[in-house]
Structures are given as structure tokens and as C-alpha cells.
Structure 1
Amino acid sequence: MNINAWREKFLLNEDLNFLLTNRIPRVAATRFMGWFSRIRSPVLTRLSIAVWRLFTDLDLSEAKQQRFESLRDCFTRELKPGLRPFEPDLAVLCSPSDAIVGACGPIDGTDVLQAKGFPYPLQELLGSQAMAQRMQGGRYTTLRLTSAMYHRFHAPHALAVDRVTYISGDTWNVNPIALKRVERLFCKNERAVIECRLPTLGDAPLILVPVAAVLVASIRLHWLNILLHLRWPGPNVIPCSARMAKGEEMGWFEHGSTIIVLTPPGLVPVAGIESGVRIHAGQALFQQRTADATALACPG
């Protein structure tokens, strides 16, 4: 059996996959990965990457650097310039990251879906009923970053960040197998709730929720200059005032994970954006409805 066939067999064996990625001391394993990934040893790093490739389709051909001093350097790698251009149209909101689109749909009640048949309360995810109510009538989109993907995420539109709420928690795997088995998984895991406004879209609200997972050692948000990790008790509310241009780098995960994007009313998915589709950072994700775009361009 070649390596690709073996990898596929492992990934498709749901019981084995769930056992090996969830029925372990998840928090301890995640803290260990945080320590291990920082060991600066080119030899150990090359060996670790070789083992990593046994389980994923890791492709480093787009990386700006081809030699890494530590596994963390590989996880958080930059790409060669120009590989993730952001759609410049002001009526378009882009994907903040490379990802596989997961559950998505309108926010027309108190619950949204993590997988078919597995709803979770938006209020519980955000830690705020007022915040959940503010997003009513908008849409949610779940973006899953696999461990092999580019792990940095960017501003999907020109935006202002007003507040970050860091919520410490568990580190369940966030792959589809776990999402079908663990209720309210996103509400249990470590996450950062990033409250934003879209100045060029009438200060409409936008919320990004990076959700950590097993082996994700930390979440870095550049404008805070703070490394958010499991040793923080939570929730921690961090007021801030940061403006970012469309496509500007916001931060990174130190492994694969998920970003939940909550968009305001008036934005609709572009054609072809649906569950299971692979997308790149900068690719058009939502666009204004024609009537909304006209009203914004011609106020009054």
C-alpha cells in the first residue's frame, strides 16, 4: 500500500481517527506541541516534517522559505509575495484564510450549525447575547484550516477592530468526524471573538472567531502583541482600536483550526461558495446585494 492510499484509509476510518485525535489528554498534548514546535533544530524539524507528511498532503512549494529552524516556523510560514491577492472590489468581502468551507447559512434564530443535525447557540459561542442579537439577519460561514494549509489569516475587508474576547477552553479536534460527534464543539474549545466594523460599508458589524483545536499551541493577533494560549483563564475582554486594510495580516494559528465568519445583513455568498469547497485567502466570499451596493454608493 503506498503512502497516499494508507493516508486515505486512516482519514476515512472515523472511529480510529476520532480515537487518535480526541481520546487523548488533549490539553496536555497541545501544551507539549507548543513546547516541541519551538525547539530550534533543523535536523529535528526536517524529521518532524517528514512524519507530518505521512498524515497530510503538506505542500511547501509556496513557502517564502524552504528551510525551517523549528516546526513552529513551518506551521506559521509566510508565502511567496503575490500568491494570495485580495479581490479589490469594495462590495466584496474575501476569505480571511485558506480553508475548506464547512457549515454555512443564514442567522435567522438563536442557533447555527456546526454540522448537519448538530446546532449550537450563537450566544454561547460568542459569550454575549447582545453580540448574537447584533448579527441577526446576517450569515455564518465556517472555514476549516487543515494542518497542512497556510496558517495565517488576513482582514477580509477594510475594517476596524473594537474588542477581542479571549475564551479559554478545551482543544477538541475540529475535523468533520469530531463535528458530527461532539455537541457544541465550537462553544467548548479555546477561541478569540474579534468584534469588527466595516467603515466602507456603513460601519456594519463583522465578527471573526478563530477557534483553536488539539495541537494548536496558540493564537497570535498582531495588533495586540499578545500570544493567546490555554494558560490564560477566561474569558478576557480586551478593548482595542486597530484599523486594517483589506488583506492585511491579522494573525496566525500555530497549527490547523477554524475561523467562523459572521457577516451582517446585506451580504450574500458569491456563486460556488458552499460546504466542502476549498478556497484561498483573498478569494471572494460574500458580496453586497445590488440594491444595498447602490444605496451605499448613492446615499440619500
Structure 2
Amino acid sequence: MLNQLKAMIQYLLPKQMLTVIFGWLAKKQLGIVTTWMIQGFSKLYKIDLSEAQISNVKEYKTFNDFFARELKQDARPIDASTNSVVMPADGVISQFGTIQDNLLLQAKGHFYTLDSLLACHPDMIKFFKNGAFATTYLSPKNYHRFHMPCDGTLREMIYVPGSLFSVSKATTECIANIFARNERVICLFETDFGPMAQILVGATIVGSIEVAWEGLITPPRDGIMKRWTYSGEVKLSKGEGMGCFKLGSTVITLFASNAIEFDSHLKIGDQVRVGQKLAERI
């Protein structure tokens, strides 16, 4: 009942307006006010700043600088096996498993389709039909940079405009098709494991989504789908940074059928970190 109430509130909230206001505030240099905001946020979410490259909150000029903070070089060891796929982000594994023909599990009782997630892109749908997926939820307390699960060469990127529903456990259990309704950035890579996609899902108060090779993708939010194609000039290594969110969101990772097998110890609800083993080559 409580989760349903939270979901109902999501429909009533002015999500776009809240996101614009917070995004504007988060990029302003407000001196002592910025420091107070960061201190309060860190205390509320029990954030461990000792692993950050900058551990003194007074050195962050904006809240965005703090939120997209980089970690010390050895803070996230990357599994070194050539056959392994690693976690792309810190967070919680909210779902993972096999794509049943065209259906992915969102939460108990809720499914959504590859067609809707991938904006009806025919080639990508063909690549990942009956494939494997893993959904990683990043809460406000998490480190908010996302990384490559394996070596890959970028072939295509698509920005899909959409809603900005919260992607917390409460809303994913109650709002149907939420990942395909929300704003997202789809990144398609060619890898030694076959095609791999990382879908970066926006949410309420996610001020921006950035990627390393193009910079800021959103905002602005002009409601237009955008597409970039690449000819091999963008190559990223396993564990290398892909980009960042400004506030909590979700990363969905897709592999083709019979490409990977998930780690036998992995369970829904697991707290995970960048670089830990997610799966291995079949």
C-alpha cells in the first residue's frame, strides 16, 4: 500500500520542473551554502568520502562536482580475468537474468519489452532477443560514475527523451514499463563477448547524464530523439569510466544470447561495486 501511494505521488509531482530547479542549483557556486549542502547530504546518506580523490568537502565548488566525484585510483579493483564481465556501477542489483524472447523483468509481476527499451531499433532488438540483462540501481548514496563491464568499441549512441519517474524500488514495483518510459541514453558496443549495450536511465532530479566521449548529453531536454554513429574511434577498456549521473538512477546492461553466464553467487538485492565480477564468458 505504501509503495502504491509513493507511485501515485510520482504522477502528481512536477518532475521536469523539480529536475530543472535542482540541476540549476547543483551547478551554482554558492560558497559556504554549497559546503553545507554537501555536508548535510553526506551525513544523511552516510557517504564515505575517504575513498574519494577529494575528501575535503570544502574543496568542491558545486554540488555537481561533489556528486560526480572521482575515486582514488585503487578504490575499485577490477576483476582481471579475461573471461569476466564486471559490474558497471556501484549500487543494488534490482534484477538480472535471461530476456524471455522480447521481455525483461522489471519487478515481480512487471515486465517490459526490448522494443520499448531500445526505442524500436530493429538491429539492437535482434542482437539482444533471448539475451541476458542486469539492472543496477544507483541510490543517492552511491558513487555515480558508470564504467565499462568489458573491453568494447562504441558503434552507436541514441538519446531517447522521456519521463523522469523515480527509479527506486517502490516505483519500479508499481509503475509499469518505467525504464522504457523514462529518458535514457543507449550505448551499443562491439566486444569480444558479442554485442553489448549499456542503457543509462534518467530519473527525477537527475540533473544530467554525461558520457566520456561526447560530454553532456542531457540537458537540454528538447524532446527530440538523437543518434550518433561511430567508426571505431571510441574504444574503452574493462573498468574504464564511461560517464556519470548527477543524482541516483539506473544502468541496464544487455548481452546477446549464449554470450555470458552470471556469477553463481549473484542475487537480486545484492549491494555491488564497480569492478566486481558480474558474469563470465560461456
Work out whether the TM-score is over 0.5: yes
Q: Is 1:267 matched up with 2:260?
A: yes
* Higher mean displacement: 30-39 or 54-63: 54-63
CA shift, 1:184, in A, is: 0.5
1:234 corresponds to = 224
The amino acid of 2:50's aligned partner reads S
Q: What CA distance in whole angstroms lies between the structure 2 residues aligned with 1:32 and 1:51? A: 19
What is the alpha-carbon root mean square deviation over aligned residues?
A: 1.9
Taking structure 2 as the reference length, the TM-score comes to 0.91
Q: Is 1:49 matched up with 2:17?
A: no
* Higher mean displacement: 20-29 or 89-98: 20-29
2:157 corresponds to = 164
State the Cα deviation string for residues 87-118 of structure 1 (Å, max 9, x = none): 12110011111110012110131111111101
Q: What CA distance in whole angstroms lies between the structure 2 residues aligned with 1:42 and 1:87? A: 40
Q: What CA distance in whole angstroms lies between the structure 1 residues aligned with 2:64 and 2:6? A: 24
Moved segments of 4+, more than 3 Å: 12-23
Q: Larger radius of gyration, structure 1 or 2?
A: 1
CA shift, 1:146, in A, is: 0.6
Q: What CA distance in whole angstroms lies between the structure 2 residues aligned with 1:63 and 1:17? A: 33
Listed as ranges, the matches of 1:185-200 within 5 Å are 185-198=178-191, 200=192
Q: Using a 3 Å threshold, how does the CA distance of structure 1 residues 269 and 186 change in structure 2: closer, same or farther? A: same
Q: Is 1:120 matched up with 2:112?
A: yes
The amino acid of 2:218's aligned partner reads L
Q: Is 1:210 matched up with 2:197?
A: no
Q: Using a 3 Å threshold, how does the CA distance of structure 1 residues 232 and 243 change in structure 2: closer, same or farther? A: farther
CA shift, 1:81, in A, is: 1.6
Q: Secondary structure at the match of 1:61?
A: helix
Asked if structure 2 preserves the Cα contact closer than 8 Å seen for 1:126 and 1:193, the reply is: yes
Asked if structure 1 preserves the Cα contact closer than 8 Å seen for 2:161 and 2:224, the reply is: yes
Asked if structure 2 preserves the Cα contact closer than 8 Å seen for 1:103 and 1:141, the reply is: yes
Give me the identity figure in percent. Answer: 27
Q: What CA distance in whole angstroms lies between the structure 1 residues aligned with 2:7 and 2:42? A: 19
Q: Using a 3 Å threshold, how does the CA distance of structure 1 residues 57 and 16 change in structure 2: closer, same or farther? A: farther
1:145 corresponds to = 138
Gaps of 5+ in 2: none
Q: Using a 3 Å threshold, how does the CA distance of structure 1 residues 164 and 197 change in structure 2: closer, same or farther? A: same
Q: Is 1:87 matched up with 2:76?
A: no
The amino acid of 1:235's aligned partner reads M
The amino acid of 1:52's aligned partner reads F
CA shift, 1:137, in A, is: 3.0
Taking structure 1 as the reference length, the TM-score comes to 0.86
Q: What CA distance in whole angstroms lies between the structure 2 residues aligned with 1:246 and 1:114? A: 26
Gaps of 5+ in 1: 1-11, 290-300
Q: What CA distance in whole angstroms lies between the structure 1 residues aligned with 2:11 and 2:62? A: 25
Q: Secondary structure at the match of 2:49?
A: coil
Asked if structure 2 preserves the Cα contact closer than 8 Å seen for 1:171 and 1:212, the reply is: yes
* Higher mean displacement: 212-221 or 55-64: 55-64
Pairs aligned (count): 275
2:15 corresponds to = 26
CA shift, 1:260, in A, is: 0.3
State the Cα deviation string for residues 18-53 of structure 1 (Å, max 9, x = none): 466663200110111110001112311222124435
Q: What CA distance in whole angstroms lies between the structure 2 residues aligned with 1:78 and 1:183? A: 34
State the Cα deviation string for residues 243-280 of structure 1 (Å, max 9, x = none): 11111111000111000000122201112212100110
Q: What CA distance in whole angstroms lies between the structure 2 residues aligned with 1:233 and 1:217? A: 16
Q: Is 1:283 matched up with 2:268?
A: no
Asked if structure 1 preserves the Cα contact closer than 8 Å seen for 2:156 and 2:229, the reply is: yes
* Higher mean displacement: 79-88 or 42-51: 42-51
Q: What CA distance in whole angstroms lies between the structure 1 residues aligned with 2:276 and 2:11? A: 32
Q: Using a 3 Å threshold, how does the CA distance of structure 1 residues 262 and 149 change in structure 2: closer, same or farther? A: same
Q: Using a 3 Å threshold, how does the CA distance of structure 1 residues 37 and 277 change in structure 2: closer, same or farther? A: same
